[in-house]
Amino acid sequence: MKRSEKFRQANREAKATVLATVAVIAFWWVAGFGLADVDVSYLHTPLWVWGGCLGTWIFAILVTLYLTRCVFVDFDLDDEEDTK
């Protein structure tokens, strides 16, 4: 991969990371505030706690798995001979 292509890829990955952050914020909102009025509890703990706290953590892990498997690309960080 040429150096310029690596930078293009790094830019793409940075954008994807920002989108991933927005996705986590959206999930956090829906699974927490969104469920706050639902009258369901497990172990005397309301559903929004499970969704907004535990759920957000699990969702964030899934997001990083998606990013690193499907969006991020491996390349050599040092300059290769074919750079220019």
Partner 1 sequence: MSSFINLLPVLAFLVLMLGISVYVQKASADDRQKNFAKDYFIGGRTLGGFVLAMTTAATYSSVSTFVGGPGMAWIIGYGWLYMAIVQVVVIFLVLGVFGKKIALIARKIDAVTVIDVLRARYKSNFLANFAAIVIVGFFCATMVAQFVGAAKLFEAVTGYSYLTGLSLFGLIVVFYTTIGGFKGVAITDSFCAIAMILGMCLLFGAMMETGGGFDNIMKHISTNHPDMLEPLSRGKMPMSLYISQWMLVGICTLALPQSVVRGISFKNTQALHRAIVIGTVVIGAMTLVATVIGVLSKGILTGDLASYGGSVDNITPLTIVKSMGPFWAGVTIIGPIAATISTVSSLLLAASSSIIKDVYMNHLASQGKELTNESVRKLSLAATVILGLAVYMIAITPPSVIWIINMFAFGGLQTAFFWVLIFGLFWYKANKNGAIAAMVGGVLVYCGSMAMKIKVLDLHQIVIGIGLSLLFFLIGNSFGETVDDETLEIFFPEKFDK
Cβ at position 81, least distance to partner 1 in Å = 15
Q: Which of 39, 40, 70, 74 binds partner 1 (CB under 8 A)?
A: 74
Cβ at position 2, least distance to partner 1 in Å = 8
Size of the site for partner 1 (CB under 8 A): 50
Q: Is 42 helix (H, G, I), strand (E, B) or coil?
A: strand
- In 3D space, the residue among 18, 2, 3 whose CA is nearest the CA of residue 67 turns out to be 18
Answer yes or no whether residue 26 interacts with partner 1 by CB under 8 A. no
